[in-house]
């Protein structure tokens, strides 16, 4: 089973993925947790470029193709082999992030991005996509305190520095995608304490196990 987690900055994906991983392992599943960008060797190099706050000159189309290159390699090298061995794959972001950020956020054509996603992934769609949904102000506040704590303001801050309206479009983009494909998506309210959020996530995944 292939499960992806999506959401705006600071939505709590890492915490929820860690909780999901230990829950699924306790049920006896083999679990692979991975992420985009950065889930394979090439992806780590691409992630460093994509998230470097000093790369302010990166063209939107160039940025798009770097995310797609990361995805194509990651699907071929990591995700497909793990699924073929029967693992549950939990992936922190996938192509819906490209549609939300580069499409709804940056303004690239959404329908074209959806077809490019099919090409990059060879048609591999998630069985479940959990959108952790919360107001962008709350998410950005969490992301900023996390980054300043980790001293990551240079390397992880390129998107977090963008204006509120951008992040609002991204959030609305995820909700639009979820409404288009209600069978694949589960939108979980990501406000409140992590255990309460996890019970919503657990329900969404459990229904599809």
Residues at the interface with ligand TMP (CB under 6 A): 9, 35-37, 51, 67, 93, 97-98, 101-102, 159
Q: Compare residues 159 and 198 and give the one whose CB is closer to ligand TMP.
A: 159
Q: Compare residues 180 and 206 and give the one whose CB is closer to ligand TMP.
A: 180
Q: Compare residues 9 and 133 and give the one whose CB is closer to ligand TMP.
A: 9
Q: Compare residues 30 and 153 and give the one whose CB is closer to ligand TMP.
A: 153
Distance CA 19, CA 15 (A): 6
Q: Compare residues 2 and 67 and give the one whose CB is closer to ligand TMP.
A: 67
Q: CB 206: neighbour CB atoms within 10 A?
A: 12
Quote the least distance from Cβ 7 to ligand TMP, whole Å. 8
Q: Is 131 helix (H, G, I), strand (E, B) or coil?
A: strand
Quote the least distance from Cβ 176 to ligand TMP, whole Å. 16
b/e 25-58 (16+ beta carbons within 10 angstroms → b): eeeeeebbbbbbbbbbebbeebbeebbebeeeee
Strand ranges inside the chain, DSSP E? 2-7, 31-35, 88-92, 128-133, 185-189
Quote the least distance from Cβ 95 to ligand TMP, whole Å. 7
Q: CB 150: neighbour CB atoms within 10 A?
A: 10
The answer to whether the beta carbons of residues 13 and 92 sit under 8 Å apart is yes
**DSSP state letter for 87:** P
Quote the least distance from Cβ 86 to ligand TMP, whole Å. 25
Quote the least distance from Cβ 194 to ligand TMP, whole Å. 16
């Amino acid at each position: 089973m292939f499960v992806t987690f999506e959401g705006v900055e600071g939505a709590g994906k890492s915490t929820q993925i860690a909780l999901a991983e230990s829950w699924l392992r306790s049920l006896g599943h083999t679990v692979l947790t991975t992420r985009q960008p950065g889930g394979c060797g090439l992806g780590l190099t691409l992630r460093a470029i994509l998230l470097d706050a000093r790369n302010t000159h990166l063209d939107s189309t160039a940025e798009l193709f770097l995310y797609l290159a990361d995805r194509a390699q990651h699907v071929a090298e990591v995700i497909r082999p793990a699924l073929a061995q029967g693992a549950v794959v939990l992936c922190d972001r996938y192509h819906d992030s490209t549609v939300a950020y580069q499409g709804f956020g940056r303004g690239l054509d959404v329908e074209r991005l959806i077809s490019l996603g099919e090409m990059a992934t060879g048609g591999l769609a998630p069985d479940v996509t959990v959108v952790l949904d919360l107001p962008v102000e709350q998410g950005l506040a969490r992301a900023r305190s996390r980054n300043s704590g980790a001293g990551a303001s240079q390397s992880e801050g390129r998107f977090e520095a963008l204006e509120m309206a951008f992040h609002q479009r991204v959030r609305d983009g995820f909700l639009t995608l979820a409404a288009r494909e209600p069978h694949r998506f589960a939108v979980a309210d990501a406000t409140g304490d992590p255990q309460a959020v996890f019970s919503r996530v657990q329900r969404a995944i459990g229904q599809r196990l």
